[in-house]
Homo-oligomer: A and B are copies of this chain.
């Protein structure tokens, strides 16, 4: 995943390029590592993990399909398929919103919460190894404020 390079100095300076390219490279590599670890240890993709943890943190452990799709950065139709798989595996159920019968809620099941709890250990271990470990507390803090500045919630 490059996306620009040495030739670009007229438009993107060397430090600018490094800042962007490094972010891209780091997150891509980390995502692959997490996905691999989750798949090996729990047969769970990182997309599935993302849906489960997002539901876990939502009030009532439930979210409308459209809200969930946005949080997870998936298109509505993409989420439909993913939630269908999770429902087949018993980790999530779908219930109609009585207020607005066009809407469906995806709800985390107890089984889903259990699976998630195990997967989180794996997930956090990878994040610790690849990011938290090598950096100082000050650098961690700095990263956080930079993302805030960039509007990445």
Which residues of A are interface residues toward B (Cβ below 8 A)? Answer: 1-8, 11-12, 15-16, 18-32, 34, 46, 49-50, 53-54, 56-57, 71-73, 120-121, 123-124, 127-128, 130-132, 134-135, 137, 139-144, 146-153
Given A2-B54, A16-B131, 6 additional A-B pairs, CB 8 A: A3-B50, A5-B54, A5-B56, A8-B120, A11-B124, A15-B137
User: In the complex, which of the residues B18, B28, B46, B150 contacts A73, with contact meaning CB atoms closer than 8 Å?
Assistant: B28
| Contact partners of A137 in chain B: CB under 8 A | 15
User: In the complex, which of the residues B28, B71, B147 contacts A26, with contact meaning CB atoms closer than 8 Å?
Assistant: B147
| Contact partners of A7 in chain B: CB under 8 A | 56-57
Name which of A2, A31, A130 has the most chain B CB atoms within 10 A of its CB.
A2
With A and B bound together, what is the CA distance between A19 and B127 in angstroms?
A: 10
Counting from the closest, the 4 A-B pairs by CB-CB distance are A22-B147, A26-B152, A18-B144, A19-B143
Q: Do residues A5 and B149 form an inter-chain contact, with CB atoms below 8 A? A: no
| Contact partners of A124 in chain B: CB under 8 A | 4, 8, 11-12
CB distance from A41 to the nearest CB of B (A): 16
Residue of B with least CB distance to A73: B1
Known: A12-B132, A16-B132. A147 touches B4 (CB 8 A): no
With A and B bound together, what is the CA distance between A131 and B153 in angstroms?
A: 14
**Could you list some 17 contacts between A and B, CB below 8 A?**
A1-B72, A2-B54, A2-B57, A3-B123, A4-B127, A5-B53, A8-B120, A11-B120, A11-B124, A12-B128, A20-B132, A23-B30, A23-B131, A27-B27, A28-B73, A29-B152, A134-B151
